[in-house]
Structure 1
Amino acid sequence: MACVLIVKTGDAFPEVIDQHGDFETLFEKQLSTALPEHLTLRVWDARANTPAPSVGTLAAIVITGSHSMVSDAEPWSEALKPWLEEALANDTPMLGVCYGHQLMAAAFGGVSDYHPAGRESGTRTVRLTQAGQIDPLFRQLPERFAAHLTHAQSVIQAPPGSTVLAHNHHDAHQALRYGPRQWSVQFHPEFTAPVMRAYLERQREALRDQGEEPEVLLANVVDCQASSSLLQRFLTFV
């Protein structure tokens, strides 16, 4: 049976894991609601000392977020770059999220690093570009939609040949396309509102330090059904 591989690149905060599940579980919950019968979900922890699955055996690849930083160039993370290049050349459907977004961009010739304006956290408005409005994955979304975000690093420079599909006031590269069936997003379509609130609670002090108001951010958290729908729709390209 064909396999959709969830590439685990990190762990959520312990309280998030206890209450809602780890990153891979959040993806499994969302993807399983629309998983065709001919597909199965499999998790591979990229940080473990195990070989990467052969690209040719995979129906699709989904890359999770992480508390690691792409610019730290950890060996396990750097080892993923040629594997992702192979998957792109093979036209394997891919969707990278947060760390996965930044890692894909870096693997394909872009630059990911700390954002000069600091951390972006909370439920924020994201806007489609003209390219995003006609993109086969994104065109189902309204031009402006709410999305859950928590990141200190961003794609600072998009790879040559990539297409910017979404942006907002903080980040010029909220979503990118690299090939016919290869996308990545800075926001978290797998997050629910309770998960987003848990992240904001953990980040209160850091957010205050950069001039944010945690209580306002918490009050503004809403369900993000439009952005979450990307995960289910992605499966239609597998």
Structure 2
Amino acid sequence: MSTFLILQLRPETAASDDEYAAFLAKGGLRAERTHRIRLDQEDLPADLDPRDYAGVIVGGGPGCVSDDAATKDPVEARIEAQILSLMPRITGDDVPFMGCCYGIGILGHHLGAKVSKARYGEPVGSVTCTAQPAAATDPLLADLPRRFDAFVGHKEALQSLPPGCVHLLASDPCPMQMIRYGENVYATQFHPEADASGFATRIRIYKDRGYFDPSEAEALIEMCRASSVEVPQRILANFVQRYG
């Protein structure tokens, strides 16, 4: 029960490896305490049970839950279906879960909330998150500042709080920055594992994926390097400490 299942969606090896290294470093994990699955390369084992792990961590990726199924990239569609196949057991049994960026769309979609590009997308960079009243007693957030900066960059977002969820963090551009379902199922719109170096890697890799004008890549990297983003990493560390 001390092993964490880490599910990754990024088909670019450099981005996937950097994200995995960040989960280890920022979460305070050793590689031997993780079961890493790159869903772009392999399917979930048929007998995988999320209850066999201390917790499940889902990384980010270039796919969008709200993309039209008829035109969705086949690999992204397969990844989405595989993660969604785990969600009934995760939410039904309140299995510790941390969905990062893409993960909040997966959780919201599973719970019946609208995930859309209509509103609340955020450009690549840092944004100030503000604690909502429930954050004061949440075990992952109680020792954190009420306001802090986090790295974001997403086209789609939750359009409202999913049924049964607790609202924990918000930003001015995007109200649903962190939510909780039950006692142990969490998701963030921001990237709790990201630092400036890791975000620079992602900016270079995804500069042609429609998040920003490719000509702005180096300026965005410099903006991230000038940002003070340290608190979100404590959320990931608190998750690992609480459940590991």
Q: Tell me which interval the TM-score lies in, with the shorter structure as reference length.
A: 0.7 to 0.9
User: Which residues of structure 1 form unaligned runs of 5+?
Assistant: none
Moved more, 165-174 or 42-51: 42-51
Pair 1:224-2:229 in alignment: yes
Identity %: 22
- Aligned equivalent of 2:43, options 39, 49, 58: 49
Q: CA RMSD in A?
A: 2.9
Shift of 1:86: 0.5
* Cα pair distance change 1:118/1:188, threshold 3 Å: closer
Shift of 1:12: 5.1
Matches of 2:63 and 2:153, distance apart in 1:
13
* Cα pair distance change 1:214/1:170, threshold 3 Å: farther
Give the structure 2 partner of residue 112 of structure 1. Answer: 115
Q: Which has the higher contact order (CA 8 A, sep 6+)?
A: 2
Matches of 2:170 and 2:49, distance apart in 1:
33
Give the structure 1 partner of residue 22 of structure 2. Answer: 26
* Cα pair distance change 1:200/1:141, threshold 3 Å: same
Matched position secondary structure for 2:84 = helix
TM-score by length of 1: 0.83
Shift of 1:154: 1.1
Matches of 1:217 and 1:133, distance apart in 2:
33
Shift of 1:75: 3.5
Shift of 1:189: 1.3
The one-letter amino acid paired with 1:186 is Q
Give the structure 2 partner of residue 233 of structure 1. Answer: 238
Equivalent residues, number: 229
**Structure with a larger share of its residues in strand:** 1
Give the structure 2 partner of residue 61 of structure 1. Answer: 56
TM-score by length of 2: 0.81
* Cα pair distance change 1:134/1:70, threshold 3 Å: same
